[in-house]
Amino acid sequence: MIYQTIDRRRVRLLRCGLWAAYVTGGTAVLAGLGVMGAGGLSLGMTASALAAGLLVAHRWMRDEGGVPVLMYHSINDDPDWLPWPSTIISVETFKRHLDVLSTSGFSIIRTRDLLDARQKGTPLPPRPVAVHFDDGYVDTWTAALPLLERHRIPATVFVSLDFIEDGTTPRPTLADVEAGRATPSDLSWHGYLNWAEIDAMTRGGVMDVQPHGVDHGRVETGPEIAEHLSPHNWQRLAWVQWRKIAGSKADWVHWEAPVAVPLGAPVRVNAPALAGPSWLDSGTRESTGAYETRVRRHLALAKETLEARCGRAMEVFCWPENGTSPAARQIAGTLGYRATTAGKGENRASEDPRVISRLGVGDRTIGWRCPKAEALTLYASIRVFHGNYYWFYLLIAAAVARRVHGLVRRQTRTAP
Ligand SMILES: [Zn+2]
């Protein structure tokens, strides 16, 4: 089947724009007739036509059938522990999200249920939602897992082999603190899952473990220099260091300075490593064959290593940074992955069932951290993904608030 994507944002904007134009236009005509003192008959007929039209327009706004897959990264009260703050959500916001998921009539399904529904036709419960965690940060163990267990919400975590810590015992969690078995200072918040925690998750049944690749890398894609490593950007450009370090680099979050490539070094234009051929040090582009071999090795190593360790099939490959290509997807299929991520649709029956589309979840939807507002916008985002586009107006309002907040912040920063 041809890989299909729909630009879901454009579709939603179009539907909502049409509906708003119809409602405001119709209301204006009615008001105009009233002002002109039109007879009761023409006023009544216009009102009836408008009402009938609203019923038709309602169909533009309701198209149930999407299955949202929420994509989380880090659940952490330190908003700066990673150089990508937009991927960090506070524990309080996450708790509110879980309240929304458990009390709003949603059915939380496993990723496998979604694949079975799309690939084998098994039925899904009403208003299904799936939950994913990318990168395998230690807070998936410390905070997310105990909270998910409390709500009996299943989820999937995607781990990269080079970012799994060596520890041989699972570390304390929020549940241990609540039960008095540990103190808050015993909790680990900076770093990645260790193998013992991955083993415990595999046995536990709430969190499924699936592959996110080997090194979460980027590659240079041309000879042009994009920037130079500096004290301000080297952490955001951590991949430049990772690339020069074979094997584990899970401790990179504790580095205080670059360890492999010095400050001042040039960084060429780049892209996620699995998305396409790389620019080689020899000054030539990697051949298509070499690129595909690299992708195949990478996907196979992630699959074999985790299957051997976890004793279960690895079915979904999560592309780091959504970086993929039609050839890479094809390779994933031949290796036995049932599906991969990075779709741009809504996981509908009409879309390619081997492609999972996900909804990135943030913590500053309205521009600043407000857990109550995050709970409401999460609900709206899920309903829009299901196909209830009325909720999109609330997301538009949130986007406007975010934009205004950004402008005000910029103004106050630049004010003398
Ligand atoms: Zn990732």
Structure tokens at 78: 């330190």
Q: How many whole angstroms separate alpha carbon 379 and alpha carbon 144?
A: 19
Cα 355 to averaged position of ligand 1 atoms, centre (Å): 17
> What confidence tens digit (pLDDT) does each residue in 39-71 have?
666 778 888 888 888 888 888 899 999 999 999
Cα 94 to averaged position of ligand 1 atoms, centre (Å): 19
Cα 14 to averaged position of ligand 1 atoms, centre (Å): 31
Cα 51 to averaged position of ligand 1 atoms, centre (Å): 48
Cα 229 to averaged position of ligand 1 atoms, centre (Å): 22
In the chain, which stretches have pLDDT less than 50?
Answer: 1-5
Cα 145 to averaged position of ligand 1 atoms, centre (Å): 18
Residue 364's pLDDT is what? Answer: 86
Cα 341 to averaged position of ligand 1 atoms, centre (Å): 11
| Beta-ladder partners of 207 | 155
What is the per-residue DSSP string for 286-324? PPHHHHHHHHHHHHHHHHHHHHHHHSS---EE--GGG--
Cα 155 to averaged position of ligand 1 atoms, centre (Å): 16
Cα 336 to averaged position of ligand 1 atoms, centre (Å): 21
Fill in the amino acid letter for 301.
Answer: L
Cα 366 to averaged position of ligand 1 atoms, centre (Å): 24
Residue 248's pLDDT is what? Answer: 93
Cα 237 to averaged position of ligand 1 atoms, centre (Å): 14
Domain 62-363 has CATH 3.30.590.10: no
Cα 320 to averaged position of ligand 1 atoms, centre (Å): 5
Residue 4's pLDDT is what? Answer: 37
- Structural domain spans, the chain: 8-61, 62-363
Residue 369's pLDDT is what? Answer: 82
Contact partners, residue 191, CB within 8 Å, separation at least 6: 137, 138, 165, 250, 251, 253, 254
Cα 213 to averaged position of ligand 1 atoms, centre (Å): 9
> What confidence tens digit (pLDDT) does each residue in 351-386 have?
999 999 999 998 888 888 888 899 999 999 999 999
Cα 214 to averaged position of ligand 1 atoms, centre (Å): 11
Cα 136 to averaged position of ligand 1 atoms, centre (Å): 9
First and final C-alpha spacing in the chain: 59
